[in-house]
Amino acid sequence: MESGVYIITEMVHFGGFFQGDTVGLSVRPLDDPESVRTVTIDDGAWENLRDKHDLAPGMALELEVSHDEVTAASVLGSPDLEALRRAIVERDISPSPNLRAIAYRCNACGLWIAREPVASDGGYGCAICGNPLSAAGRA
The residues pairing with 35 across neighbouring beta strands, listed in sequence order, are none
Helices (H), the chain: 81-87
User: Which one, 45 or 77, has the nearer CB to Zn ion?
Assistant: 77
User: Which one, 24 or 132, has the nearer CB to Zn ion?
Assistant: 132
Q: Compute the least distance from the CB of residue 18 to Zn ion, in Å.
A: 39
Q: Compute the least distance from the CB of residue 92 to Zn ion, in Å.
A: 21
User: Which one, 31 or 69, has the nearer CB to Zn ion?
Assistant: 31
**87: three-class secondary structure by DSSP:** helix
Q: Compute the least distance from the CB of residue 15 to Zn ion, in Å.
A: 31
Separation CA 39–CA 81 (nearest Å):
25
Separation CA 19–CA 96 (nearest Å):
43
Q: Compute the least distance from the CB of residue 88 to Zn ion, in Å.
A: 17
User: Which one, 103 or 106, has the nearer CB to Zn ion?
Assistant: 106
* Alpha-carbon distance values, 40 to 26, 45, 69, 79, 112 (Å): 9, 10, 8, 23, 24
Interaction site with Zn ion (CB under 5 A): 106, 108-109, 126, 128-129, 131
